Amino acid sequence: MDPYELAFDIALNTDRNLFVTGKAGTGKTTFLHRLKEASRKQVAVVAPTGVAAINAGGTTIHSFFQLPFSPFIPTPEGRKNLVAKSRMRSSRRRVLQELELLVIDEISMVRADLLDAM
């Protein structure tokens, strides 16, 4: 079984975290589109920039999670500020609660504070 087939099987049939990496042109985006089409799971695709989100067929991380653009400091005060600035509607909360598979494209471009805020 080639590595992409193994990754595909893991993504579709388990709840495990999966990190797919490779050089440009190795099929990561094709893998992503194939995964979205084949999955019966509730899937969301996010990326750190608008261009990356468009290429992946998703949305930006900030838009999906309704996060402010300011840096997030993972302290009790920072969390309180994040919650206070949150614009999330109940329909978005429901999407997050039902989400089974989150794909983060271009993960190497995501700041650590943004990962903490998600």
The token pair at 97 is 């609660």
pLDDT classification of 53: cutoffs 50, 70, 90: very high
Task: Decide if 50 is inside a domain.
Answer: yes
The pLDDT mean for the chain works out to: 84
Amino acid (one-letter) located at 16: R
Task: Decide if 88 is inside a domain.
Answer: yes
Task: Decide if 11 is inside a domain.
Answer: no
Question: 7: closest CA among 42, 34, 43?
Answer: 34
Domain span including residue 32: 28-117
Task: Decide if 1 is inside a domain.
Answer: no
Task: Decide if 3 is inside a domain.
Answer: no
| Overall domain count for the chain | 1
Alpha helices in 1-118 (DSSP H): 3-13, 28-38, 50-56, 61-65, 76-85, 90-98, 112-117
pTM: 0.78
Task: Decide if 71 is inside a domain.
Answer: yes
**pLDDT (mean) for 63-67:** 84
Better-predicted residue by pLDDT, 84 or 40: 40
Task: Decide if 98 is inside a domain.
Answer: yes
Task: Decide if 95 is inside a domain.
Answer: yes
Q: What pLDDT, on the 0 to 100 scale, is given for residue 96?
A: 79
